[in-house]
Chain A
Amino acid sequence: MIPAEPVLEVEDLAVRFTRRGEQPTRAVDGVSFSVAPGETVGLVGESGCGKSVTSLAVMGLLPRRGVEVSGSVRFQGQELVGAPDSQLRRLRGADMAMVFQDPLSSLNPTVPIGTQVTEVLLEHRDMSKKEAVDEAAALLDKVGIPDPRRRLKEYPHQLSGGMRQRALIAMALACSPRLLIADEPTTALDVTIQAQILELLRELVVDTGTALVMITHDLGVVAGLCDRVHVMYAGKIIETADRHDLFARPRQPYTGGLLASVPRLDGGRGAPLTPIRGSARDTIPWAEGCAFAPRCDNAQDDCLTEVAGSTVSLEPDGPGRELRCRHPIQYPPSTGGATASGVLR
């Protein structure tokens, strides 16, 4: 694929929460990534790793009070960090859109679906009311909602979970955005419905060339959908790779540990899983060393800043790969032959 100009470039993004009477917390810390048209980038991590905060910061949806955002978010060349609300509002819904985890609470319960979709159209596109209604019906049809004309008149609670998520995606697509951020869009759904939604997203990226940022904790979803994957832990990206590389040869012990700890549908019965010890609580601040060190089997003393004299940084690790680790998982050279990498920077 020809490397296209990225739609979104995030550089050194940091988010600090400063709640009254509490210690400020660094939810996101020095996160950089970019997404090109037609590309799907995954942000993977467990709860509390900062993946959702990253997406909210990109969309400018974090509250201004008690939150400090620094770094740079460039969308089609425009700087969004510190941009006025009016500019963000113009972009949101039109050029960049977001789909959330919980479709019910993302929709207004007192307004019919149709009104909510046409609202977006009327706001951002030059259309008459009637054209907007037609377009809304076409959108619902496109995302696979049967009988769209009737559905337009229905309220969110009258739709099933899968249909609500489709309606949300339809709203997100209303203005053919260049960037779509999906934050755990299938977590609340059953697997058969998840498969439908993932298929829909996959088609979308291929058909419209939208850049997709997929935020999830599910490695299976990543494996089937994302071109490039960023694994996050305690607010930082700790490993970046092409999806084939990542799953074939995870280098960060955390990524390796995650893959070894989930049972696989095509795995055998009984072989004990290899869990990662402790929980996401057992981290140390990045300033003191690698946050994952307390849970890591490869950890050595130089994973700690006080011993090594420097913080653990994100370094290039082969073509298209980046790694934040001093003692990564090693592979014998024979298993080398990393799969042909897809979209590279």
Chain B
Amino acid sequence: MTAFGDVRRRRIDELAARAGAVPEGEGGVSLTRSAFRRLRRNPVAIIGAVIVLVFLLVAAFAPLLAPRDPLAQTLLSQIRPGSIPGAQEGFPLGVDNLGRDLLSRLIMGSRQSLMIGVVSTVLGVVVGMALGVLAGGLGGWVDTVVMRFVDIVLSIPSLLMAISISVLLGQNQYALMIAIAVTQVPIFARLLRGSMLAQRNSDYALAATALGVKKGRIIFGHVLPNSLSPVIVQGTLSLATAIIEAAALSFLGLGDPDLARPEWGAMLANAQAFLSIRPELAVYPALCIIVVALGFTLLGESLREALDPKFRR
């Protein structure tokens, strides 16, 4: 056994040996992982994620959750001009002007609203990113041409764009998705391009060039992955806008003409005529749109915070 003093002596040597060593504990925390950790600790992110998750689950299992057939005009007999029956046994939120169960319509409507939002945003992100990579990665005249094109698209009001596309492709849900996607494209293209241009001038990109790493590998292996954070954040926020926009277009009658698929925007538009009689018809779909958009926005904002280099540790 060593003497007590020797043990103590080792303590200071131990400290000294550790000086300049790499930090202890489990290591190799990549940026993505540390961002995810920060996200998990943020209550705002949790709230946003829970809202989004609930709506996604509802949409996924809508047919099982909906208590009734959203198209069955069960209470049509009770409807008189100037009077629509409110909540009652079996119809917790009441019925619409055609006597269909409002709750079931809202639940089924979530599918359509969310799908239009997600598909159009994904489409917008993919095309926008492709243009952004083209412009930001190649630079030069390609950059000029792509960005001028994007500027032109951006200068067309989104509503006008949607109407034109509807006219072009005929009025159906795909036209609606494409219309919304097209308005998203310039946002992502510009965002990614700007981010990539900044990253291309960074020291690590220069270092890679100096090391003889090939240009393609620098752009796709270094510059692009480091430019994605703002796109991810904007993508999440855009989901919210896309859902609102889809509702707005449906509200204006540019939505899906297939009446067999309930949709929040169309429900809102329909409720307009009965605002004075039964405002709930408008309030519930509006609330759904607001809450789901809020969920995506909260999630997006906390993603922004988590991915911000200022918060890196």
- Please determine if A and B sit in direct contact within the complex, based on CB atoms under 8 angstroms apart: yes
Residues of A within 8 A of B (CB): 21, 277-279, 281-282, 284, 293-296, 299-301, 303-304, 307
A residues less than 8 Å from B11 (CB atoms): 301, 304, 307
Residues A300 and B15 in contact, CB atoms below 8 Å apart: no
A residues less than 8 Å from B8 (CB atoms): 301, 304, 307
Q: Mark B23-64, 1 if CB is under 8 A from A, else 0.
A: 100000000000000000100000000000000000000000
Whole-angstrom distance between the Cβ of A292 and the nearest chain B Cβ: 10
Whole-angstrom distance between the Cβ of B308 and the nearest chain A Cβ: 15
Whole-angstrom distance between the Cβ of A125 and the nearest chain B Cβ: 39
Find the residue from B5, B8, B16, B41 having the highest chain A CB count within 10 A. Answer: B16
Nearest residue, chain B, Cβ from A279? B20
Alpha-carbon distance between A224 and B213 when the two chains are bound, in angstroms: 47
Selected A-B contacts with CB under 8 Å, 24 pairs? A21-B41, A277-B16, A277-B19, A277-B20, A278-B18, A278-B21, A282-B19, A282-B20, A293-B12, A293-B15, A293-B16, A294-B15, A294-B19, A295-B16, A295-B19, A296-B16, A299-B12, A299-B16, A301-B5, A301-B9, A303-B12, A304-B8, A307-B8, A307-B11
Whole-angstrom distance between the Cβ of B311 and the nearest chain A Cβ: 11
Alpha-carbon distance between A307 and B16 when the two chains are bound, in angstroms: 16
Residues of B within 8 A of A (CB): 5, 8-9, 11-12, 15-16, 18-21, 23, 41
Residues A284 and B15 in contact, CB atoms below 8 Å apart: yes
Residues B18 and A294 in contact, CB atoms below 8 Å apart: yes
Alpha-carbon distance between A170 and B9 when the two chains are bound, in angstroms: 55
Residues A304 and B20 in contact, CB atoms below 8 Å apart: no
Alpha-carbon distance between A303 and B8 when the two chains are bound, in angstroms: 11
Residues B16 and A294 in contact, CB atoms below 8 Å apart: yes
Alpha-carbon distance between A300 and B20 when the two chains are bound, in angstroms: 19
Q: Of B12, B18, B41, which contacts A282 at CB under 8 A?
A: B18
A residues less than 8 Å from B15 (CB atoms): 284, 293-294, 299
Alpha-carbon distance between A294 and B18 when the two chains are bound, in angstroms: 8
Alpha-carbon distance between A279 and B8 when the two chains are bound, in angstroms: 24
B residues less than 8 Å from A304 (CB atoms): 8, 11-12
Alpha-carbon distance between A307 and B23 when the two chains are bound, in angstroms: 25
Alpha-carbon distance between A123 and B294 when the two chains are bound, in angstroms: 46
Residues B19 and A300 in contact, CB atoms below 8 Å apart: no
New A-B pairs, 4, CB < 8 Å, besides A293-B15, A299-B12, A304-B11: A21-B41, A300-B12, A301-B5, A301-B9
Alpha-carbon distance between A328 and B273 when the two chains are bound, in angstroms: 88
Alpha-carbon distance between A301 and B13 when the two chains are bound, in angstroms: 9
A residues less than 8 Å from B12 (CB atoms): 293, 299-301, 303-304
Whole-angstrom distance between the Cβ of B106 and the nearest chain A Cβ: 37
Whole-angstrom distance between the Cβ of A295 and the nearest chain B Cβ: 5
